Each structure stands twice: as C-alpha cells, then as structure tokens.
Structure 1
Amino acid sequence: MAALWSRTRQRTSDEVVVKALYEEHGRALLAYAQRLTGDRAAAEDVVQETLIRAWRHQDKLTNGKGSVRGWLLTVARNIVTDRCRARASRPTEVAENPSRVPVENDHAESVVDSMVVMEALDRLSPDHREVLVEIYFQGRTVNEAAEVLGIPAGTVKSRSHYALRQLRELYREKPGTARLVVLKEAVA
C-alpha cells in the first residue's frame, strides 16, 4: 500500500512539474519552435517532446546551473536539428520511371465491375451469353457474330434482344447494385 501511495504521489508531482513548466515557458517555447520549423503542428510536437525530456531529466532543471528556459530552448533546438538531419539522411524518393505517371485510380473498381458482369452473364442461358460476348466483349457486328457462331444474323439479333431484356429485368430486381452500370449502358 505504501508503494502505491508513493507512486501516486510521484505521478501527481510529475504532473505538477510539467504543468508548471508549460504554463511558465510554453508560449516562448512554442514561438521559438515555430520559428525554427515554420510549421505550427511540427512546433507543437517539438514542445511536447521538449517537455517529455524535461520530465525525464528533472534533476537538470534544479541543479542551479543556468536558466530553465535556456535549457528548454536548447533541447527544442536539438530536437529540431535531429529531425532535420533524420530527414536529410533519407534519400529522396523518385518515381521508378519519370516518364510514367503513377497510378491514380485503384483497379479494384474494375475488378468488382467485371465480377458483377460475369455474375450477370452466368444467369443467362448459354445461347444468350455467347451472343452478348461476341457483340459486346469481342466487338463484333451482328453479321460477324453470326458467322463466328454459325447461326443466322436474325437469330443473333433475336438472342441479343432477349438477353438484354433479361439483364434489364435482373437489374431492376437489384436496384442497389450500382456495379451493373456497365451492363445498364449496354442494355439501354
């Protein structure tokens, strides 16, 4: 119980020390760090790190050598210097091939779209599916699709009409399926 009491008392006194340091030197420390970094957020990080170091080395604050503010400003300057050196020691990142633009769009959208399209095509009969594949995915005309499939052009037209109609019905049944936009454009 005595150990718990002393830890609680120690924690409270540590909080008082850090709070007192911040209240007395916080503004000056923040202004100085902001001048060094040129960035408010980075300056706040430097102040926080400075106060942590002051908390860890309280003995240096009470040894009677020099001012507390001088010690804090020196620590802040050292932190900024260390961060600059760390940034400078890392090589700058460059694109693998400067002529190629980095990928901007995530290909996941197209993967999901193709999965939805494949699922919708799987719901069609094989005859309807092969007609749509020839016309929309292979880019063939009605006559070319008829020649490849070995059926009359009128049959290709009829099957594509009924296949698209069935896809429209499937699309209406699933109004939340936004991925069928690819099919919707083909169906419309």
Structure 2
Amino acid sequence: MADISRRRSPDLIGNGAVREIYALHAPELYRFALRQLGDGCAAEEVVQETFLRVWSSARGFKPELASMRVWLFAIARNVVIDETRSRLRHDKRMAAARTAAARGGQMSSDIAHITINRRLVQAALLRLNIDQRTALVETYLRDRSYSEVASELDVPQATLRSRVHFGLKALRLVMTEMGVHREV
C-alpha cells in the first residue's frame, strides 16, 4: 500500500486515495463522533461531512505540518462543534417557544405553535425537489393563481397542477418522516 499520508494534496482526489483514506480512518472518526455526540446517526453525518470537506479542501492538506490522521481529526472536531452548536440553537429555540407558550396563555401558545409549524414546513419544503417546492410556495403560500405562476415559470398549467399535486404528496410524506402528524 502506498504511503497516502505523505501524498501531496492534488493526489488525494485521484487514484481512489480518498477511498483508501476513508477505509483507513472512517471507523475511528465514527467512534470519535459517537463519543462526542452520543448519537449514531449524527456520528455518521459527521464522518460524511468530514470527508466531504476533505474532498473539497484537499489542497489544504500540508503533510509537513501534520499527518493525515491529525488533519482528519481536526476537520472532524470542527464538524462535531458545528453540529453541537446547531443542536444547541435548535434546542434553545424550541425551549423558548415552549416557555412562551406556557407563560403567555393561549395567545402565546398559538404564536408558538404557528412559529413551530412554520419552521417544520420550511424544513420539509427544503427536502422537496425545486420544481415541486416552487409550485407549492407560489400557489399555496403566496396565494397566486395557477395561470399567473405557470406563465411566470413558462410551463403549461397542467404541468404546474401536476407539480402541486405530487409536491403535496411528497410534503405529506416528508412531514410524516419528520414525525409530524396531521391534526384532525
């Protein structure tokens, strides 16, 4: 096996070196992330994000400064910090919404529910393809007519209606996957 820890950065991308590096270091990076976050899914995402950053910034690797392992763990540490900060922000927003709902009575509760629902819908919409998302946002959320939106997007109205129909189905599925259930 070639000494991949001493390769110059342009060689990292070619010849399957990233795959080699992944095979050598991914399990160890996963265990590191799992110890830090306590969540297997989040640890897998950290490893994936680490190697995405490795691939996109391969030219930043300087073997004279640190070994490949040290570089990978530095990147993974930054990804873990980013993930932790993201979780904390999310938890703070949710706690603030719950506190406001509990303290402020029904009106605050309604505002909190609206805010939470809005965030959930935004997150779900981001998981749809761009055509369906655009169709739903323009027709449902901005309350524009099909003819106006179809004209602007330069598509037939039937195509737009189809995008809305399948977009709503996809949105329901995404919301279900997110743990959101319809209220009767």
- Structure 2 length normalisation: TM-score? 0.44
Which structure's CA Rg is the greater one? Answer: 1
- Structure 1 length normalisation: TM-score? 0.43
